[in-house]
Amino acid sequence: MDVDGEGDTFELNVNGAQVETPPPVSSFSKEQEIEKLRTSGSMTQSISEIARVKNLNRLQIGKHEVEAWYFSPYPKEYAHLPVLYICEFCLAYFPSPMMLSRHRQRCTLFHPPGNEIYRHQDISVFELDGKRQLSWCRNLSLLSKCFLDHKTLYYDVTPFMYYVMCLRDSTGCHIIGYFSKEKESAENYNVACILTLPQHQRHGFGKLLIEFSYELSKKEGKLGSPEKPLSDLGLLGYRAYWAEVIVELLINTTDELSIDDIAQKTSITHADIMNTCTTLQLFKHYKGQHIICLSEAVLEKHEKVRNKRRRRIYADNLIWKPPVFTRDQLRFY
């Protein structure tokens, strides 16, 4: 999984007293470190995947031109072009701007070909079934493979539902990012793959996608967690989200809360809550039992993050019922 490394990341190192250590010989700033994670993730496990040379240079998506980061299995005739032109509504790909222009005259799509399940201000989210919108979802997977080093499934889209977030204006709904979700997950994962497109990164959309995935879990009445292992940037984004949500809940609740109470209110799994609280050092030993206690450093950091955050998901604007699939519909060939 990969989400944008945004500027409002919740730092999880909140130790009060720190031992002074000599600075390393070559130290990275936070921006450099996030940029390093962004372009050289550590999640590529397969040697054959590592050996694959990046085959695309740049992509033109609507009015944005972005650089491809990783290999993507587009057809051979499209490899090593100076620019690959992509229709931002149907995600079809073309080798020249003239062919894209001719396609746009015939293309009737102005939003992803699914049901709009959420709308607030200029943000919309569409739900797509990988089995019904096969071509569109395959094109989306090919595009996302350019920016995900560890993504291996790009043709087998039928077992997944896709939730595509768009920025709406007078010309149509422009894709910002998406996450996919297994129709039937044995481990109760609420996200299989998540991505914010590079031209929309660092604007808070990654955290918005994560928040939306947990709103769906609340509607389902289930606890959810992203599919493991997380990529470097994915881990940064999720840790920031978990920390912000848990601290905000603790601040706004006067009653005592157990780990189970937090899980039921947020739909975050017990393991993710435990890991976040441990990393934030919220557990204190008091009169023979462990309690959750917010330190000044955590509260101060939370206030900074909350003041920076501009966009939120509003549950009242989500019009959605969890899809129910028969055994035949879950049979994938």
**Which residues are catalytic, by number?**
227
How far is 330 from 333, CA to CA, in rounded Å?
A: 10
At 285, which helix (H) or strand (E)? strand 283-286
How far is 42 from 45, CA to CA, in rounded Å?
A: 8
Q: Is-cis flag, bond preceding 159, omega within 30? A: no
With DSSP H G I counted as helix, E B as strand and the rest as coil, what are the percentages for the chain, rounded to 5? 35, 20, 45
How far is 249 from 244, CA to CA, in rounded Å?
A: 9
Q: Sheet of 115-120: strands edge to edge?
A: 115-120, 123-129, 160-169, 172-182, 193-196
How far is 164 from 109, CA to CA, in rounded Å?
A: 15
Residues 6+ apart with CB under 8 A from 114: 126, 127, 128, 129, 133, 162, 164
